[in-house]
């Protein structure tokens, strides 16, 4: 890669030279954030990386939180046109904002809606794989909203099932799965099954937190990246199960990462 890698890229293992596959292929990346600090910028960065002109990867994006125009505008500032990528069939954008407006009442409907969504994704993955023979990344921009959308009758299992199904894609088609969720929703629960399951399944957990010392203009928060990294395709078989901490500053055209106290 000709571009310089930032700390997050390094933590995710983008520095390792690999033939064609991205270090995230076949992995589940979980991004956790909280009310004070949004983790969506990590999503944007990964989107940009997947859709970069150097790779031939494709992206399936499930938007629960924001409309296409929002992402389009952000990614354009990062130097990536979503509309073009859409036209090139490298991006498939599922607008899920109004998912489940009707048929909230019946659980069966809900189950089928989630199942239907998964089948659509599966179909798209198959199509993308057959056409471009490339890695496919599936992104969910807000899992907690999907939970709300599909748990009209407090039946949380559907989303968990969906998660498990999507997880099968990572092994089946060597997809990457990137999921954003809000951690603080679950802190008050006694046994947050949903969160624990996700953390358990995830190969990489990226956590965005505010600084303990409060808000600052030049440091927007800190990121901790746990890379469980027991992937077999890393070649060297190096087990890089390590936790890294660094701070970040979000700008319109990119994100600065730096170690605490090392801001240049």
Q: How far is the CB of 83 from another protein (least distance, A)?
A: 9
176 binds another protein (CB under 8 A): no
Query: Of the candidates 188, 191, 261, 264, which one interacts with another protein according to CB under 8 A?
Result: 188
C-beta separation of 26 from 169 below 8 A = no
Q: Give phi and psi for 209, each to the nearest 5.
A: -135, 155
Name residue 176's beta-bridge partners.
137
Distance of CA 151 to the CA centre of its chain: 21
Q: Which is nearer to another protein, 132 or 219 (CB)?
A: 219
Site mask, another protein, residues 105-144, x = CB under 8 A? ---------------------------------------x
Considering only the stretches 21-29, 158-166, 178-186, 197-205, report the one whose residues sit in contact with another protein under the rule CB under 8 A. 178-186
Query: Of the candidates 87, 148, 193, 230, which one interacts with another protein according to CB under 8 A?
Result: 148
Query: Of the candidates 1, 189, 196, 243, which one interacts with another protein according to CB under 8 A?
Result: 189
Q: State how far the Cα of 206 lies from the Cα of 255, in Å rounded to an integer.
A: 15
**Structure token digits, residue 39:** 């983790």
* CB contact set of 150 (below 8 Å; sequence gap of 6+): 99, 100, 110, 113, 114, 158, 159, 162
The label of the residue with tokens 């500053």 reads 249
Nearest CA among 98, 76, 96, 77 for reference residue 85: 76
Q: Which is nearer to another protein, 153 or 168 (CB)?
A: 153
Q: Which is nearer to another protein, 196 or 243 (CB)?
A: 196
Site for another protein in 17-46 (CB under 8 A): 35-38, 40-41, 44
Q: How far is the CB of 24 from another protein (least distance, A)?
A: 20
Q: 147-151 — which CB contacts under 8 Å span 24+ positions? A: 147/194, 149/64, 149/96, 149/99, 149/100, 150/99, 150/100, 150/110, 150/113, 150/114, 151/110
Query: Of the candidates 21, 97, 111, 160, which one interacts with another protein according to CB under 8 A?
Result: 97
Considering only the stretches 6-14, 17-25, 49-57, 245-253, report the one whose residues sit in contact with another protein under the rule CB under 8 A. 245-253
Q: How far is the CB of 242 from another protein (least distance, A)?
A: 27
- Give 69-125 as a 3 state SS string: HHHHHHHHHCCCCHHHHHHCCCEEEEECCCCCCCCCCCHHHHHHHHHHHHHHHHHHH
Residues near another protein (CB under 8 A) are 35-38, 40-41, 44, 66-67, 69-70, 72-74, 76-77, 97-98, 100-101, 104, 144-145, 148-149, 151-154, 182, 184-189, 214-217, 220, 250-252
């Amino acid at each position: 890669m000709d571009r310089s890698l930032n700390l997050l890229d390094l933590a995710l293992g983008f520095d390792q030279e690999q033939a064609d596959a991205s270090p995230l292929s076949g992995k589940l990346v979980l991004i956790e954030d909280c009310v004070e600090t949004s983790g969506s910028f990590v999503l944007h960065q990964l989107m940009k990386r997947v859709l970069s002109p150097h790779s031939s990867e494709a992206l399936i994006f499930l938007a629960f939180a924001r409309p296409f125009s929002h992402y389009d505008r952000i990614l354009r500032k990062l130097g990536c046109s979503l509309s073009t990528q859409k036209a090139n069939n490298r991006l498939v954008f599922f607008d899920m904002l109004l998912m489940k407006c009707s048929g909230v009442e019946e659980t069966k409907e809900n189950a089928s809606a989630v199942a239907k969504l998964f089948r659509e994704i599966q179909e798209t993955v198959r199509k993308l794989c057959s056409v471009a023979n490339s890695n496919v990344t599936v992104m969910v921009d807000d899992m907690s909203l999907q939970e709300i959308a599909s748990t009209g009758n407090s039946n949380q299992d559907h989303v968990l099932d969906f998660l498990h199904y999507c997880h099968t894609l990572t092994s089946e088609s060597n997809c990457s799965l990137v999921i954003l969720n809000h951690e603080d929703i679950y802190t008050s629960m006694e046994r947050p099954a949903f969160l624990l399951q996700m953390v358990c399944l995830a190969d990489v957990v990226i956590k965005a937190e505010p600084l303990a010392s409060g808000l600052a203009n030049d440091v927007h928060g800190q990121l901790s990246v746990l890379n469980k990294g027991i992937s077999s395709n890393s070649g060297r078989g190096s087990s890089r199960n390590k936790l890294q901490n660094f701070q970040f500053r979000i700008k319109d055209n990119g994100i600065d990462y730096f170690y605490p106290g090392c801001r240049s």
